[in-house]
Structure 1
Amino acid sequence: MSAAAAPVLALSGGVGGAKLCLGLADVLGPDLLHIASNTADDFEHLGLTVCPDIDTVLYTLAGLSNAEQGWGLAGESWRVLGALAGLGVDTWFKLGDRDLATHLWRTGQLAAGASLSAVTRDLVERLGVPAHLYPMSDDPVRTIVHSDEGDLPFQEYFVRRQCQPAVTGFSFAGLQEARLQPDLAALCRQPALAGVIICPSNPFVSIDPILQLDSFWKILRDRAVPVVVVAPIVDGRAIKGPAAKMMAELSMPVTALGVAEYYARHYPGLVGTYVIDHSDANLVTAISRLGMEVELAATIMREREDKQALASFCLELLRQ
């Protein structure tokens, strides 16, 4: 069975991951794309369970996302938030009216005893998402950002503080007790699995929680499926999010090479092929010395055609 007709697993964080997942969904079709979403940035807000990375993928693949900002819903309104502000509620985390419907429904289902997997699967069906989408775990895992201002829950750092504190490291509360989502574990046992694509998501707070959970990276490495990583850094900059700032504060080179070195050091033997942008062609030799195949592609995804082209390129690498 060729990679074009076999299931593919994508590991995704938020905006950058959702962009490539949209391209993969377009190219592969609805039955072959499986997406493992980071849930370590989930949190409880206003009594609701909010799953930012899951929802970004959901809304993007359903054609409902606010393409300009990369998160939330297009055509959103903010009347509930305004009313809460009028009551003196701190509205630092912006939840639009339609977005609130998702969180209200999810929270009610979870309170009634449904698993996060079941709730996510139901949302996929209700929104017409053309892929299989799984939370990395049904157990709660929460990212803690260690910073020069102390330890901060991820959303406090990311949204309330706008990534201003200097980071010194990260940890994941609940990670040791959490178990890998069962369908993901079963998928990785399938002989037909064509391979894994690690989307251009933040390696520290989006991909690390997925790979570290239940030693998932070792399962993938020992299964010997092809693993392709798309660099989240292009020409020394993160296309979206604080990855470049984090790397600088952690005294890492803010380059695609710096990310490759991180993967090689923390997940030895996992990455087979590393995809970097054409603008970083000068890094090919140094990355190759890490034991990875290096491929050049256009990795900045502005238009839908860009997403499809990068997806097709990654799938061709799996075929090889």
Structure 2
Amino acid sequence: MTAPARVVVLAGGVGGSKFVLGVRDALLTRGIADTTSALTVVANTGDDLWLSGVRLQPDVDSLTYALAGVNDTKRGWGRAGDTERVNAELQQWGAGWPWFTLGDLDLGTHLARTGWLRDGLTPTQVLERMSSRWQLGARLLPMTDTEVDTIVEFSDASRMHFQEWWTRHRASLAPARFNNPNIDRARPAPGVEAAIAEADIVLLAPSNPVVSIGPILAVPGMSDALRQTSAPVVGVSPIIGGRVVRGMADVCLSAIGVHTSAAAVAALYGARSEGGVLDAWLIGEEDLAESSAVEELGIRSVVAPLWMKDAATSAALAEAAISAVSI
């Protein structure tokens, strides 16, 4: 197989960050030295929020910090070696959320972002400026420049921001639905559609299919771009052995009526031949029995080790995804 010169990854969260690092390493192993030109990452911005007057972009920052090598791998979020003096002071003032910790270095990022946004820069322009600080080996793009924060709605008509439901309540409150206000007026951020159209392969990271990949696909024009590209679209299951890898994605899936299984998530994305977005779907060795169900959807099923335990296994998974179809 020829080496892909242009790879696009749709990603969000910690799992997405690990996978993107694996893709970058896989491209380097294939002899592609200029991964910045070869790899474009479209980041979920559905879990963004305003807090204490600053704009937070959790998935964007997780991807940026991971690619820069400054992420806190123990906690899974934020900057390595961060302190929390400012956060403690905010709590003394009764500001912010006491259950949502902001590190001092992380706050520096949020303050810089907010200042640039106030100056009139778009989220795309802000992320370009942020990316220039480090050698990331990838081009990062937000999924859209429109604010489309995820709101969790409940059966009693109450609602809260996704971050409160996820971080404070740990998804213990049964959601009725997830909503992204303004998403009907959104468009893919500048450069996203062109990157997908010109790609040699498009990869869906093993991120939460409902609140990470879901908002990306919900941006008007995004799914059309995936269906129209000549590049194969390959996804990686976030479900292994009938269980979520991390987080509470099973609660999110249940809320939209989807079973927690690799085949069910493949059906959620759908086959391109049937109006969906997938050509191939990687499932874990633990889910071999679901391979035929995936094939029946019109999606090629590829069985591979999915656990990203370290840099080597992440790169191996990325290579398996790139090799899943002929390019």
TM-score normalised according to structure 2 size: 0.92
Post-superposition shift, 1:3?
Answer: 5.4
| Paired position in structure 2 for 1:292 | 299
Kindly report which structure 2 residues correspond to 1:133-212, keeping only aligned pairs within 5 A, or say none: 133-148=140-155, 150-190=158-198, 193-212=199-218
Asked if 1:123 corresponds to 2:130, the answer is yes
CA distance in 1, matches of 2:2, 2:251: 36
Kindly report which structure 2 residues correspond to 1:203-222, keeping only aligned pairs within 5 A, or say none: 203-222=209-228
Contact 1:12 1:36 in 2 (8 A): yes
Post-superposition shift, 1:265?
Answer: 8.3
CA distance in 1, matches of 2:154, 2:2: 42
1:317 alignment partner, SS class: coil
Name stretches of at least 5 consecutive residues in structure 2 with no aligned partner.
28-34
CA distance in 2, matches of 1:185, 1:105: 27
1:201-248 Cα distance to aligned partner (Å, 9 max, x none): 111111121112123112211224200010011111111121112223
Name stretches of at least 5 consecutive residues in structure 1 with no aligned partner.
none
Contact 1:115 1:138 in 2 (8 A): yes
Asked if 1:40 corresponds to 2:46, the answer is yes
| Paired position in structure 1 for 2:12 | 13
Output the amino acid matched with 1:243: A
CA distance in 2, matches of 1:119, 1:208: 23
CA distance in 1, matches of 2:173, 2:18: 28
Output the amino acid matched with 2:164: E
1:18-46 Cα distance to aligned partner (Å, 9 max, x none): 11001111222332010000111111001
Contact 2:124 2:142 in 1 (8 A): yes
CA distance in 2, matches of 1:124, 1:92: 29
Output the amino acid matched with 1:122: R
- Of 83, 99, 102, which residue of structure 2 is paired with 1:92? 99
Contact 2:197 2:231 in 1 (8 A): no
| Paired position in structure 1 for 2:30 | none
Asked if 1:23 corresponds to 2:30, the answer is no
1:178-206 Cα distance to aligned partner (Å, 9 max, x none): 1111211222332xx21110000111111
1:229 alignment partner, SS class: strand
Change over 3 Å in CA distance of 1:5–1:229 after alignment to 2:
closer
CA distance in 2, matches of 1:269, 1:48: 37
Post-superposition shift, 1:86?
Answer: 2.2
CA distance in 1, matches of 2:275, 2:74: 37
Output the amino acid matched with 2:7: V
TM-score normalised according to structure 1 size: 0.94
| Paired position in structure 2 for 1:316 | 323
2:141 alignment partner, SS class: strand
CA distance in 2, matches of 1:156, 1:252: 23
Number of residues of Structure 1 aligned to a counterpart in Structure 2: 317
Post-superposition shift, 1:147?
Answer: 2.5
Paired-residue identity, %: 35
1:106 alignment partner, SS class: helix
Post-superposition shift, 1:5?
Answer: 4.0
CA distance in 2, matches of 1:194, 1:5: 6
Q: CA RMSD in A?
A: 1.8
